[in-house]
């Protein structure tokens, strides 16, 4: 992400990693909801993209203190509570090319959300709208006009994930829906 023009970024290539909740303190620190599992994403000197009201601005992390799925983030460019207040609701992102490749069979959450879910017989069952994290493994919320149900990420249910076609093929086991 070294040399780029923020005005020329394809928004489809943005991966959102946090949302600004509110200011924290008087020196421009932000309370953020974190949507990244990468502990180094907010390391000092890391570069992020601040996305707000159609504008994309490069920013640099000064410090970060994690707090469960939230954190206190200090950006070098934000130096007052007034500036921080204006950023409520803004999102922080990285370019997809800045993500480290995952091992085969592992996926980023943003890759899973939105996938169409079909049975092994080809019947459309819905679309993944949410990923919930649990110690035993993630579960995916599948919703359609008719129903909603959960699919476990581990076990015999998922047969294939095809990111190119935007679909997940599952074994429609009795009691799943």
pLDDT at 174: 84
pLDDT at 60: 97
CA triple 34-36-40, angle to 5 deg: 105
pLDDT at 1: 39
pLDDT at 7: 61
Instruction: Determine the average pLDDT of the residues in 12-30.
Output: 94
174: buried, middle or exposed (CB in 10 Å: 19+, 13-18, 0-12)?
A: exposed
CA triple 46-132-89, angle to 5 deg: 50
Of 84, 11, 92, the residue nearest 58 (C-alpha): 92
| pLDDT greater than 80 at residue 5 | no
Using the Cα atoms of residue 130, residue 170, residue 138 and residue 95 in order, give the sign of their dihedral: negative
Of 56, 61, 80, 83, the residue nearest 72 (C-alpha): 61
Instruction: Determine the average pLDDT of the residues in 33-55.
Output: 90
Instruction: Please state, rounded to an integer, the average pLDDT across all residues of the chain.
Output: 91
Each residue's pLDDT tens digit, 144-175: 999 999 999 999 999 999 999 999 999 998 87
Two structure tokens written together for 134:
């649990």
Domain architecture of the chain: domains with CATH: 6-98 (2.40.30.60), 109-170 (2.30.30.240)
């Amino acid at each position: 992400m070294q040399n780029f023009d923020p005005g020329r970024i394809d928004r489809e290539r943005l991966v959102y990693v946090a949302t600004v909740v509110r200011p924290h303190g008087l020196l421009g620190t932000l309370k953020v909801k974190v949507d990244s599992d990468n502990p180094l994403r907010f390391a000092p000197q890391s570069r992020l993209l601040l996305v707000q009201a159609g504008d994309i601005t490069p920013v640099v992390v000064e410090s970060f203190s994690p707090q469960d799925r939230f954190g206190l983030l200090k950006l070098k460019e934000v130096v007052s509570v007034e500036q921080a207040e204006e950023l409520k609701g803004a999102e922080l992102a990285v370019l997809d090319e800045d993500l480290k490749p995952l091992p085969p069979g592992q996926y980023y959450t943003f890759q899973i959300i939105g996938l169409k879910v079909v049975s092994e017989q080809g019947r459309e069952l819905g679309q993944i709208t949410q990923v919930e994290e649990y110690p035993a493994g993630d579960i995916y919320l599948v919703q359609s006009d008719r129903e909603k149900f959960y699919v476990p990420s581990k076990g015999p249910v998922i047969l294939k994930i095809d990111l190119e076609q935007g679909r997940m093929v599952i074994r429609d086991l009795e009691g799943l829906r």
